[in-house]
Chain A
Amino acid sequence: MYKYDGYDKKIVLERVAQFRGQTQRYFDGKLAPEEFLPLRLQNGLYIQRHAPMLRVAIPYGMLSSAQLRNLADLSRTYDKGYLHFTTRQNVQFNWPELKNVPDILEKLAHHEMHAIQTSGNCIRNTTTDQFAGVIADEVTDPRPYCEMIRQWSTFHPEFAYLPRKFKIAVNASPTDDRAAVQVHDIGVEMVRNAQGELGYRVFVGGGLGRTPIIGEVIREFLPELDLLTYLEAIVRIYNRYGRRDNKFKARIKILVKALGIEAYREKVEAEWQYFKDGPSKLTPEVIAKFKSYFTEPAYDDLEHNPGALIAQRQESKAFDNWIKRNTHTHKKPGYSIVTLTLKKTGMTPGNVTEKQLDLLADLADRFSFGEIRVAHTQNVVLADVPQIRLFELWQIAKEAGFATPNLGMLTDIICCPGGDYCSLANAKSIPIATQIQERFNDLDYLYDLGEIDLNISGCMNACGHHHIGNIGILGVDKKGEEFYQVSLGGNPGKQAAIGKILGPSFAQEEMANVIEKIVQVYVENRNDEELFIDTFTRIGMNPFKERVYDKTH
């Protein structure tokens, strides 16, 4: 994984010193709350319902075992012994005290972690496929390119006060889009053109929140060396012309819609001409250098699909299920990519206790070259596990509650912290997740249902990505009471789609029944191997609507 050099180290430590000074000036009354606000936000610090919330970046989702143990330590010392993995490859402290935050940031910095630009109206942490660098089918490893974007966007002097937040995601898999790039302000899809040259399909103006929009293609093929200059042109046009009079209309998606993609593209291309061959244009040497920061671990030559593994799968149906559901094909023979689910019923999606963090660190050291990855689905990945040791890992993970074999299933719910923690939320989200997980606790039934994304957000800020869940649930406030609106047909991947609203919202206690009825309609209507999303696309909303709102049922 990426290692800081002397420059990176210096920048991060200077940032800690700067924030320590700002916090002190705030306590001394020299910095007004409204002036401190964007400064603390750009250091990941929100003031929440019960306490501040600190959001720490996990670049490309990668954490070393040492970083995990440090996080565990920090959660014991400064928090309540647990942390929360978000949907954007960040980790959040829920109960730090403001006065301790500079110390937390300093201890993070010593382990090459930071909270820079994890919030605020600036360019946020760049996210990518949690399987980057190990999945068999990727066009290239996207992480070196993400790191270029990280360096370009970190403390970019022109773009620290954008109209609104700005999120970039990169995907390099031609078959799947685990980074959901089409619902980002800029989505970068790494592709090869007809000549076999590497480049990018660039999407702009996607996003969730209160106006969910799928991004539009601004560039069908951008040559490899032009990444940073083109991004700079896109963001400059946004900085100049994005709306600043209404924060709900300030995202780039609103500007792109208002101008039309053709006009936006024209402006960007015209701007880009001035500096496309300037000093920020990449060179093959620079790219090679960035690639060298992401070296492969010391893989052994191992037998692929060894006999022992085959035998273990035959002996244990449960193990076989877990292999089928929770592992992916590795580019290296004899290794597998393992996803440890943090979605056991009763566990808050994305939450990890300090003991679990320590255990994950141990598992990383024992099974996967001392590294884990955090997925946007709020699960944890061991990316480099020898197949011969999968059974041993499964037994330990099962004991720890990390091996619920429900990856991609209905109960693998993406969920924001919701009204239990977040001051923005209209409604609680975690009890809804628990209710649904308790209802659908029969694994055989879940397998029969196949892949269904169920996403829950406690408010229209959409941190739980409800718009792109096959089933989306949104917490709404109705005269002071918590209700839940259901949408169907959302899709986060290559065929990105925003879900459509089913109808009037429901009370909390109805939710498991509602989901059950939706699932029944699917089961009754599906053909053979058809997935939920495909059945929905074929039969449309009406059959679902009729069943759910039918008083006779």
Chain B
Amino acid sequence: MTKLIKDRQIIDNEWTRLAVDFEGDLPSTPVIVPLNYWLAHKEAVLATGRAAVWLDSDQGPEALENDVDKLVLIAINFPRFADGRGYSYARLLRERYGYQGELRAVGDVLRDQLFYMSRVGFNAFEGRADRDLTEAMEGLDDFSVVYQPACDEPLPLFRRRA
């Protein structure tokens, strides 16, 4: 089983992510379904008792606005690490829609992006298979001070400065 970082722990990844064009019946194991599948088969996904959806980088979070309480896991795909749209999606899910469940970064997820990802609300990271997760986790602690408010810090530094 592959591993991932979740809440600063390296754990087994129990979830399988279904392809973007997945059709047909859901397998019995835990799966993360693509957005289009979710929109077309909400009842079937909810019936599994562990509804999980992933967004591609061109799929904004608006489609999930009314579903966030039903989902235990939302994954956002980074097709290339330089595609930064997912950072905005994550913040919107957390800050605007109040999503509380697992928010997972998947795809081209590398150590040097983890700090920013954790600030915008991701708490789980499927690191790229060819990289060491223990080393990658160090990236979460690159900085101890931040200027802006985000999901990890409600106030800008200018309101916290003595």
Interface residues of A (CB under 8 A from B): 5, 7, 10-11, 14-15, 18, 22, 30-31, 35, 38-39, 121, 148, 151-152, 154-163, 228, 236, 239-240, 244, 274-275, 278-280, 286, 289-290
Contact = CB atoms under 8 A, between A and B. Distances in A.
B84 A239 contact: yes
Contacts of A159: 84, 87
Interface of B: 60, 81-85, 87-88, 91, 95-96, 110, 112-113, 115-117, 119-120, 135, 142-150, 154-159, 161
Contacts of A278: 149
B45 to A, nearest CB: 26
13 contacts: A10-B144, A10-B145, A11-B147, A14-B142, A151-B156, A156-B147, A157-B148, A157-B150, A158-B87, A158-B120, A163-B84, A228-B156, A239-B84
A279 B84 contact: no
Contacts of B88: 158, 236, 239-240
Give 7 nearest A-B pairs by CB, closest first: A161-B84, A157-B119, A157-B116, A151-B147, A158-B87, A18-B142, A279-B149
Contacts of A22: 112
Given A151-B148, A239-B85, A279-B154, 17 more contacts: A5-B161, A14-B144, A18-B142, A121-B84, A151-B147, A151-B157, A157-B117, A157-B150, A158-B84, A158-B88, A159-B87, A240-B85, A274-B96, A279-B156, A286-B158, A286-B159, A289-B161
Contacts of A274: 96
A154 B116 contact: no
A158 B150 CA distance: 9
Contacts of A161: 81-84, 87, 113
A379 B144 CA distance: 38
Nearest to B141: A14
Contacts of A280: 148-149, 156
A492 B149 CA distance: 35
A279 B144 contact: no
B151 to A, nearest CB: 9
B161 A157 contact: no
A18 B143 CA distance: 8
Contacts of A157: 87, 115-117, 119-120, 146, 148, 150
B146 to A, nearest CB: 7
B110 to A, nearest CB: 6
B77 to A, nearest CB: 14
Contacts, number: 101
B114 to A, nearest CB: 11
Contacts of A7: 145, 157, 161
Nearest to B119: A157
B158 A148 contact: yes
Given A279-B149, A280-B148, A162 B84 contact: yes
B145 A121 contact: no
Given A22-B112, A161-B83, A240-B60, A14 B143 contact: yes
A160 B146 CA distance: 14
Contacts of B85: 239-240, 244
Given A121-B82, A279-B159, A239 B87 contact: yes
Nearest to B143: A14
Interface centre among B82, B117, B144, B150 (most CB of A within 10 A): B82
Contacts of A239: 84-85, 87-88
**Most central of B96, B115, B116, B155 by chain A CB within 10 Å:** B116
B145 A11 contact: yes
A157 B120 CA distance: 7
B75 to A, nearest CB: 18
Nearest to A235: B88
Given A14-B142, A18-B142, A35 B156 contact: no
A22 B115 CA distance: 14
Nearest to A244: B83
Nearest to A241: B85
Nearest to B108: A35
Interface centre among B148, B154, B155 (most CB of A within 10 A): B148
Contacts of A152: 147-148, 156
Contacts of B156: 151-152, 228, 279-280
Nearest to B128: A35
Contacts of A236: 88
A30 B135 CA distance: 11
B148 A38 contact: no
Contacts of B96: 274
A290 to B, nearest CB: 8
Contacts of A228: 156
A252 to B, nearest CB: 14
B122 to A, nearest CB: 10
B87 A160 contact: yes
A154 B116 CA distance: 12
Contact of A155 (B60, B110, B146): B146
A274 B85 CA distance: 19
Given A279-B156, A279-B159, A39 B112 contact: yes
B24 to A, nearest CB: 31
B64 to A, nearest CB: 15
A35 B81 contact: yes
Contacts of A156: 147-148
Nearest to A239: B88
B79 to A, nearest CB: 10
A285 B81 CA distance: 39
A155 B143 CA distance: 10
A148 B91 CA distance: 22
A159 B84 CA distance: 7
Contacts of B161: 5, 7, 289
Of B135, B145, B147, most buried by chain A (CB within 10 Å of CB) is: B147
A38 B145 contact: no
A244 B156 CA distance: 30
Nearest to B86: A161
A146 to B, nearest CB: 14
